[in-house]
Structures are given as structure tokens and as C-alpha cells.
Copies of this chain bind each other. A is one copy, B any other.
Amino acid sequence: MNTTQIIEARSGAVTDEMYVIARMEGKDIEYIREKVASGRVVILKNNLRTNSTPIAIGEGLKVKVNVNIGTTNKKSTIDEEIDKVRISEQAGADALMDLSTGSYIDDTRTSIIQTSHLPVGTCPIYQTGKNTLDKHKNIAKLSKEKMFSDIEKHCKDGVDFITVHCALTRFALMQLQQQKRLMGIVSKGGAMLACWMEATRKENPLYENFDELLDLLRSYDVVLSIGSALRPGCTQDSFDRAQSAETIVMGELVKRARETGVQVMVEGGGHIPLDKIIPTVKTIKEYTDFAPLFIHGPIVCDCAIGYDHITGAIGSSLAAYSGANFICSSRPMECLESATTVHIKNGITAAKISAQSADLAQEEENAVKRNKEIAIAKTEYDWKKQTENSIDATVFDGISPAKKKKPCTMCGAYCSMKSFKKVN
């Protein structure tokens, strides 16, 4: 205990987790150790966690997919969340976050951690703010002590990564207020802290007491995911100086975390039009010394309500191709209603398509091989091999030609591959 993957890697040691990851990624073990030592790769694995497969996120590795689950109101049950864990694993998510704001937050979290084989993340301030928001109390009454004790509770329960909005400073908030954004703050945790900071006229306690936060996380090797409080809620608000002010502080905090042996990644995303995705990703990467980037969306237009999995897939493909490493999947009804298991599956599948597309464009070896194999299987009408190599194999359930070496019903006799073979 009280050591972390980055501390071990820097000392030249290779941990069990690094072995597992080197095999999963098809990389040399020394490559993984060096990347972890540099901080450009993080490994999600709480020291106390025993039932999960660790994953690594960052430069040179396959793009990973996260899914958000969690209760949202008094009606939601722990059983429903356990169903969501199972669906997420089946659909191929690499990690999940429990963002519960409903009843029984503690029990929900521990049940999810016990059930899931995937790394689990949380956003502890959702729990800290619960009574305040539910009962319309003054948010200024939230104490620094409560914030930290909730974080510690989550760490002790075994969460592998936590989102903390520690880079939202008074300076960044001032930039926001001067700018007259259309949608202000759309991060829930960020909005809570902004309200607290405005009401108390004080600096963000998670920024002011950052060393204390680092000590806590180091004890369990929980990866710090620096939350993006000022990510844009609509395309017009994107790539502004408020977000940039927060990103600058992220860079400062990444350096301090790495120096003290805490693994750290940064968050970004939101609603970003296509032309601003590459500049946004490059800015975050540069300012944060290429820390692993956990991207939400980016949603590339505001008016496709109900289709966030598609606007998110468009944005995250381009973001991941230009440097983002960890995609937070968007459900179709992301900003409209609570998650259903069907929507969770659709969201994960769309994000996995993005991840695969970005990997392919970066010529990641496994992605190139997989896409080549499926192309050959198509020319051979080998439906079995197509099914095996498909992102979602369930698509083939009930498709008529699936077991015969015949063209599909789309083109039939007109199959161009069939015609062309005769003359080539």
C-alpha cells in the first residue's frame, strides 16, 4: 500500500498490472512501464480492488470506452444498476462510472464495485451535494471536510478513478462571467462548486487543498480525473477563454500530481463543432503535458436531440484520432431522460465504433488486422468470420444468409464482388 503504478514505474519496477496490460495491448512490457512512468499512460486499479481487470489509458494504446450509470431519482433501484453493469460488460465497455444521485448512494456504489469486472469511477461531489440540492438548502453550507470525507469513502470502497473539479478557480470563473456564455456551466459538479465559490467568495477548496487530495488518492492508487467544470454546453460556447483558463490550471495540477506519485488524467469535451475539435484537443494535450484525455462527446451539433450517440460518435472519432484516449459514451437521450439498458447498449456501441475508427486511422495494429479480416470475410461471404469480427455480433441474429456462403439479400445477383471475381 501507499505506492502507485507511477511510483513503481519510475523506480524501474514492473507491476502485475503492467504485465496484464502489456499482453492486452500487444505491447512490450518496457513500453508500458516507460509510459506509466512518464504519466502519459495511467492504469485504473485501486490497491484495494480484487475483482477487476485493470485497464490502461493513454498515448500509444487502444482508445477506451467508458459508460456512465447510476441512480437518478427515488424510484431507481440497485438491481437496475446491476443490470446496467452486466449490459455494459456485454456491450464491451472498458470502464464504468457510477454517477448515482438517487437513494442509497453508498449501497449502490458498493454493489456495483462488487459486481463489475471493469474499473469503476465516481464523482464524489454528487454525493456531497445531494442533501443540499434535493432539499433546496444553501449550497454554501457544504464544507470542505464533507467534500474530502466523501472522497475518502469512495477510495476506501475501491473505486479506481474519481472525477474532481479541482481546476475550477476563481480566475476561470471570472472569465466565464465576463464572456456571457449562452449556457453557462453544464457540468453538475462544476455548477455546485461554482455556486459554492460565488456564495462564499472563497477559492475552490479542492484546488486550495490539492496536496491533501493527492495524499488521499496516493494511499489507494486511485487515478485522479480532473473534471472539466467549464466544458461547453452548446457549440457556440466552445473553445472559449473560460475553458482555457481551467485547462491551464489542469496543466499545473497534472504536474503536481505526477511529481508526488499520483496518477492523473484530465477531462474535456462537451458540445464542440467539427472545426473546433482538433484545436480543443491539441490545446488540452499541450497544456497538460499529454496527460491521458477523457473526452465527453464531443457533441458536434446542438439540434440533434435524442441522437447524442450519433453526434457523440462523430465528435469522439475525430477527438480520439487527434489525441483523446478515453471516450465517455453518450446515450441517445443523454440530456433528456434517465438511462435505459437499451440506450446504454446503443451508446457503448457507438463509442466503440468511434474508438475503432480512431485506432484504425492511427494504424493501431489490432485495428488494422481486424478490419482487414472482415473485408476478406466479406469477399468470401464468410458470415461466421464477419460475425466474429463485428463490433456488435448480435446484428447477425436472424439474418438469413448468415450460415450460407452466399451474397446478402441487398444486392443478390447484382453482387459486384461476385461479378468482378469472374474477370479478375
Which residue numbers of A lie inside 8 Å of B, CB to CB? 72-73, 101, 126, 129, 133-134, 136, 139, 177, 182-188, 190-192, 194-195, 198-199, 233-237, 273-276, 300-307, 309-311, 313-314, 317-318, 321, 333-338, 349-350, 353-354, 356-358, 360-362, 367-368, 370-372, 374-376, 378-379, 386, 389-392, 395-396, 399-400, 408-417, 419-424
* Contacts A/B (CB < 8 Å), 22 sampled: A72-B411, A133-B419, A182-B379, A184-B421, A188-B414, A188-B419, A195-B419, A234-B371, A234-B375, A235-B371, A235-B375, A237-B375, A300-B317, A300-B360, A303-B391, A304-B356, A305-B374, A307-B395, A314-B317, A318-B318, A333-B395, A336-B409
Ranked nearest first, the 8 interchain pairs of A and B with the lowest CB-CB distance are: A306-B395, A191-B416, A234-B375, A274-B361, A198-B423, A275-B361, A300-B357, A191-B419
Tell me the nearest residue of chain B to A402, going by C-beta.
B336
State in angstroms the CA–CA spacing of A389 and B349 once bound together. 27
Residues of B within 8 A of A371 (CB): 234-236, 301-303
A182 contacts across to B, CB distance below 8 A: 372, 375-376, 379
Residue from B199, B304, B368, B416 in contact with A185 in the complex, judged by beta carbons closer than 8 Å: B416
A130 to chain B, nearest CB (A): 9
Quick one: which of B136, B349, B350, B420 contacts A195, CB cutoff 8 A? B420
CB distance from A204 to the nearest CB of B (A): 14
CB distance from A76 to the nearest CB of B (A): 11
User: How far is the CB of A201 from the nearest CB of chain B, in Å?
Assistant: 11
Tallying the copies of this chain within the complex gives 2
Could you tell me if A410 and B274 are in contact, using CB atoms closer than 8 angstroms?
no
Residues B390 and A306 in contact, CB atoms below 8 Å apart: yes
B residues near A310, Cβ cutoff 8 Å: 309-310, 313, 350, 353
Q: Nearest B residue to A102 by beta-carbon distance?
A: B412
Q: Is the CB of B300 within 8 A of A416?
A: no
Q: Given A375-B234, A419-B133, A424-B184, is A410 in contact with B195 using a C-beta cutoff of 8 Å?
A: no
Q: Verify B410–A302 contact, CB threshold 8 A.
A: no
Chain B residues positioned under 8 Å from A338 (CB to CB): 409-410
| Contact between A183 and B305, CB atoms less than 8 A apart | no
- Please name all residues of chain B whose beta carbon is closer than 8 Å to the beta carbon of A192 when the two chains form the complex: 416, 419
Instruction: Please judge, given known A-B contacts A182-B379, A357-B314, A361-B275, whether A305 and B390 are in contact too, CB under 8 Å.
Output: yes
Known: A72-B409, A184-B417, A301-B356. 17 other contacts (CB 8 A): A73-B412, A133-B414, A182-B372, A188-B416, A191-B416, A191-B420, A194-B420, A273-B361, A274-B321, A275-B362, A301-B360, A302-B375, A304-B392, A305-B396, A333-B410, A336-B399, A338-B409
Closest residue on chain B to residue A237 by CB atoms: B375
Write out the residue numbers on chain B whose beta carbons fall within 8 Å of the beta carbon of A235: 360, 371, 375
Residues on B with C-beta less than 8 A from A356 are 301, 303-304
Closest B residue, CB atoms, query A236: B372
Q: Are A353 and B392 in contact (CB under 8 A)?
A: no
CA gap between A408 and B183 in the complex, in Å: 16
For residue A300, which residues in chain B have a CB less than 8 angstroms away from its CB? Answer: 317, 357, 360-361
Contact B336 A408 (CB under 8 A): yes
